Chains A and B, each alone.
Chain A
Amino acid sequence: MDFWSKFPENFQRSVIKKLDYKSRCRLRKCSKLDQSLVDSCPVFLDRVDIQPRPGNLMYFGIGEYENCEELLCDKDCEMEDTIQDFLLIFKNSNSKLKTLDITHHNYRLHPEALNVYIPSLLYSMRSTTYRLKIEELSIGNYSEMININFLNLLKSMDPCTLKCLSIRKFPTQTPEIWKEIVETEQWKNLKVIQISEKTSVKLDYFLHTDRFCIYIDSLSAEECWRCIQKYLENPFPLHSFFQVFTSQELIMEEIFAKFNVKPKDDPVERRCRFRKCSKLDKILVDSCPVVLEHVNFEPRLGSQVYFSIEEELIHEHCGVAQKVLKDFLLIFKNPKSKIKKLSIAHFNFQRQPDAVNDFVMSLFAEMESFYTPNFLLKIEKLAFHWGEIRETVFLELFKKLDSKVFRSIFLRKFPIKMQELMMELVETEQWKNLKEIRLQEKLTIPLERIQPVNVLIVTFHSLSAESVWGYVKKFRSTPSPLQSFFQISTSQNLPIEEILASFDDPVRNDPLSNSDAQVKHTQRFQLSWSPKLILVVKIGSRRVKGTICRKNCPEEDFDALEEILVQEIV
């Protein structure tokens, strides 16, 4: 049977849209008809990596949305071939690429590689009318480009698509070229700009973006205030930010003098200053406990650590770890002082993989010099979302938390993988006393080792019916507050029939009125410890969720607490 050509064209297009990029290119080679058909279907790619290599070769890698972690086509090829392969992506005018990453690791050996490649690419595009639809242009490590090449590359991009520009080192700059760059539609439409190395450029060129991060020589008080004012006056989206590093120190007094609002009083600093006035004041300050809502640490470049006391930001500063940690540990000078939430975030972890480990080790060292060996941090919740931490360091930090206060843990990735360390962790008082466990990525601790807590959000690879039912039973028999819930997800399908078969109540599918189609079974369990409350358990193919609800309004209670939790700022 003539399989493919019997397909109507719309089916063929549907199939082509679902082909991986490699197969798409191969199908294109089968016949002229297939070529024109493939070219008529836009392609959406996650990333393309181009890296100059010795011997006029180029590394060319393509990553797809479906397999964005592995590059599907990765090879070293002749420069001309990579240009043709690259331009092929844009054969259809609706094709779009999320990230183009040009990185030149060997720039010392071949300083001119990009200055040959970019003009050749642009030359090959001379007869085309389209512009490259690329959302993010990233020019990475040690790439040297003559500014005119950068300008032309920028101009070759579709201004409506390009949103983000990330450059490690800006090409050699002259004011004329800069002027021309910032006058392009592409620059004007950018939403995000990041330039890692020092650049001599006017701050005003960046004020149209939602986010920018630059490193300049100096920042005058007028410029600083202009920047703040721009963000105050314009309706930028949530999480918009600016970050300006300077070689020369900022003079606070001058900046404050330019403000048309009074700088906000800082009770923490005032407290610290007051503490220094006399021995008596020190005793007085230390005798008053302080309860802080949210303290945040972020390791930054150059051994700096950003330290802030959040919720209506009352204090923030960036300094060397030792200084920041001294300020932090002062909080616990009074034994009744505590922090409700401590966040550690490290956004630059790929470049500084050990920054969090180093920071936590410094914390231990400072704790040792500041307090007695049995001192424990009074922190209710530990949140660690961005960055990497070694499993032993994490375990050590975990043990330094006061189990009488520590109640909640909120992690993206559970750092502990070794069986012995894991067992050590679950045996700690800190773990046993937890009331909230929220882990976004797959957990390696067996579900059987997790005690019933008020909030449990975890993911496993797969679970047996016995494990699931075991946890449901434990949760059911443990008195918990209203709206307490567990949400257990799996990557593999759950054995629903087996789970239902293990119930000690008659199996009865009793969906809530607002239940969605993903739920395959809903069971309402009576609770031995409360006549007014029930446990509602919803089971889907890969998720089981149970919530303590009021008997008469389970719909209202089922997702109530989760909805509050998802709004939490990490």
Chain B
Amino acid sequence: MSVENAPVVDVDEAAIPVEKKMYYRFESNDKKEFRVSELAIQQSETLNRLVEAMGYTSEDVENKPAIAIENIDGKTLKLVFQWCEHHKGEAIPVDDGSVPKIVEIPEFDAKLMDIDNGLLFKLIWAADYLNIVQLLNVSCKKVANMAQGKTPAQLRRVYLLPSDEEDEAAKRAAQEAQDPRAREVEEEFEERKRQGGNSFF
């Protein structure tokens, strides 16, 4: 099945499915609405718990407002639900922390994740937020594969890695943003040092 044909129903674009299964409605933070099958939702621990707690009937699903997912935009959520629909019913892997499990990226997932780094970042973030273990696995594997065969210099470019200096600067900025008084103290200290004082006190 191609990515385009994955059975996520984007309300604006597609018709309501004919299968007599329960389809929940979700809304992204940019007000895009999606219908997702009950089985597909099981891939997300977060959403599964949420719908279980809500205890919706088929009528509720149709009549009540769509469930809002505040932190994820429509473009990302569409990818997430396409993935869930494609992998519905599959067992959810359990990480027992022993020898690492070998992760292979299926063809469907590879096509789904053939996206720019920004969107990939959002997808990983969404997979983590919605607790979709296998999507998180494959998306992290995708990021890991980006590093394969790269030198440290190339890695810096691929991952946009900051250097030690940039890390230091970022750390300082973060500290200062947290505590403006610390900056004043540091400046005062530097000033005294310039004036030749040995001790701050």
Which residues of chain A have C-beta atoms less than 8 A from B162's C-beta? 2, 5, 31, 33
Which residues of chain A have C-beta atoms less than 8 A from B121's C-beta? 1, 3, 6-7
Within 8 Å of chain A (Cβ to Cβ): is B173? no
Within 8 Å of chain A (Cβ to Cβ): is B90? yes
Q: Known: A3-B117, A23-B144, A26-B147. Contact between A31 and B100, CB under 8 A?
A: no
Within 8 Å of chain B (Cβ to Cβ): is A256? no
21 contacts between A and B (CB under 8 A): A1-B117, A3-B121, A4-B160, A5-B160, A5-B162, A7-B121, A11-B128, A14-B136, A15-B144, A18-B143, A19-B147, A20-B144, A22-B149, A26-B152, A30-B159, A31-B163, A34-B161, A44-B100, A65-B99, A65-B100, A65-B102
Which residues of chain A have C-beta atoms less than 8 A from B91's C-beta? 516-517
Contact A17 B100 (CB under 8 A): yes
Contact B99 A30 (CB under 8 A): no
Q: Which residue of B lies closest to A24 (CB)?
A: B147
Within 8 Å of chain A (Cβ to Cβ): is B60? no
- Cβ proximity bits B2-42 to A, threshold 8 Å, 1 near / 0 not: 00000000000000000000000000000000000000000
Within 8 Å of chain A (Cβ to Cβ): is B124? yes
CA distance A94 to B19 in the complex (A): 49
Q: Which residue of B lies closest to A20 (CB)?
A: B148
Q: Known: A4-B160, A4-B161, A10-B128. Contact between A44 and B147, CB under 8 A?
A: no
CA distance A34 to B156 in the complex (A): 11
Contact A30 B155 (CB under 8 A): yes
Q: A residues engaging B (CB < 8 A)?
A: 1-8, 10-11, 14-20, 22-23, 26-27, 29-34, 44, 65-66, 96, 493, 516-518
Partner of B99, one of A14, A33, A44, A516: A44
Q: Known: A23-B148, A44-B99. Contact between A1 and B141, CB under 8 A?
A: no
Nearest CB of B to A232, in Å: 33
Within 8 Å of chain A (Cβ to Cβ): is B151? yes
Within 8 Å of chain A (Cβ to Cβ): is B197? no
CA distance A66 to B103 in the complex (A): 9
Which residues of chain A have C-beta atoms less than 8 A from B159's C-beta? 3-4, 27, 30
Contact A11 B124 (CB under 8 A): yes
Interface residues of B in 22-66 (CB under 8 A from A): none
Within 8 Å of chain A (Cβ to Cβ): is B180? no
Which residues of chain B have C-beta atoms less than 8 A from A32's C-beta? 164, 167
Number of interface residues of B (CB under 8 A): 36
Partner of B152, one of A16, A20, A30, A493: A30
Within 8 Å of chain A (Cβ to Cβ): is B68? no
Within 8 Å of chain A (Cβ to Cβ): is B140? yes
Nearest CB of A to B104, in Å: 9
Which residues of chain A have C-beta atoms less than 8 A from B102's C-beta? 65-66
Partner of A30, one of B118, B136, B161: B161
Which residues of chain B have C-beta atoms less than 8 A from A7's C-beta? 121, 124
Which residues of chain A have C-beta atoms less than 8 A from B163's C-beta? 31
- Cβ proximity bits B86-125 to A, threshold 8 Å, 1 near / 0 not: 0001110000000110110001000000000110010011
Q: Which residue of A lies closest to B88 (CB)?
A: A517
Contact A23 B150 (CB under 8 A): yes
Chain B binding surface SS class = helix
Contact B156 A30 (CB under 8 A): yes
**Most chain B Cβ neighbours within 10 Å, of A6, A23, A96:** A23
Among all A-B residue pairs, the 5 with the closest Cβ atoms: A4-B159, A18-B144, A23-B147, A14-B140, A517-B89
**Most chain A Cβ neighbours within 10 Å, of B121, B136, B170:** B121
CA distance A517 to B103 in the complex (A): 18
Which residues of chain B have C-beta atoms less than 8 A from A2's C-beta? 160, 162
**Most chain B Cβ neighbours within 10 Å, of A10, A16, A18, A34:** A18
Q: Which residue of A lies closest to B171 (CB)?
A: A33
Q: Which residue of A lies closest to B128 (CB)?
A: A11
Which residues of chain B have C-beta atoms less than 8 A from A3's C-beta? 117, 121, 159-160
Which residues of chain A have C-beta atoms less than 8 A from B137's C-beta? 14, 18
Q: Known: A33-B167, A517-B90. Contact between A1 and B144, CB under 8 A?
A: no
Contact B100 A18 (CB under 8 A): yes
Which residues of chain A have C-beta atoms less than 8 A from B90's C-beta? 517-518
Nearest CB of A to B65, in Å: 30
Which residues of chain B have C-beta atoms less than 8 A from A4's C-beta? 159-161
Q: Which residue of B lies closest to A98 (CB)?
A: B99
Nearest CB of B to A380, in Å: 39
Q: Apart from A30-B152, A33-B167, what are 5 other A-B pairs with CB-CB below 8 Å? A: A5-B162, A14-B136, A23-B144, A34-B161, A517-B89
Which residues of chain B have C-beta atoms less than 8 A from A33's C-beta? 162, 164, 167
Contact B164 A31 (CB under 8 A): yes
**Most chain A Cβ neighbours within 10 Å, of B103, B117, B128, B140:** B140
CA distance A16 to B161 in the complex (A): 14
Q: Known: A18-B141, A65-B102. Contact between A31 and B161, CB under 8 A?
A: yes
CA distance A3 to B161 in the complex (A): 8
CA distance A495 to B133 in the complex (A): 28
Nearest CB of B to A507, in Å: 16
CA distance A33 to B147 in the complex (A): 17
Nearest CB of B to A158, in Å: 15
CA distance A2 to B91 in the complex (A): 34
CA distance A23 to B151 in the complex (A): 8
CA distance A570 to B151 in the complex (A): 48
Contact A15 B99 (CB under 8 A): no
Which residues of chain B have C-beta atoms less than 8 A from A1's C-beta? 117-118, 121, 160
Nearest CB of B to A304, in Å: 37
Which residues of chain B have C-beta atoms less than 8 A from A6's C-beta? 121
CA distance A6 to B137 in the complex (A): 18
Which residues of chain A have C-beta atoms less than 8 A from B100's C-beta? 17-18, 44, 65
Which residues of chain A have C-beta atoms less than 8 A from B89's C-beta? 517
Nearest CB of B to A27, in Å: 6
Which residues of chain A have C-beta atoms less than 8 A from B156's C-beta? 30
Contact A27 B117 (CB under 8 A): no
Which residues of chain A have C-beta atoms less than 8 A from B147's C-beta? 19, 23, 26-27
Contact A29 B152 (CB under 8 A): yes
Nearest CB of B to A522, in Å: 13
CA distance A305 to B148 in the complex (A): 48
Which residues of chain A have C-beta atoms less than 8 A from B149's C-beta? 22-23
**Most chain B Cβ neighbours within 10 Å, of A1, A10, A33, A96:** A33
Which residues of chain A have C-beta atoms less than 8 A from B128's C-beta? 8, 10-11
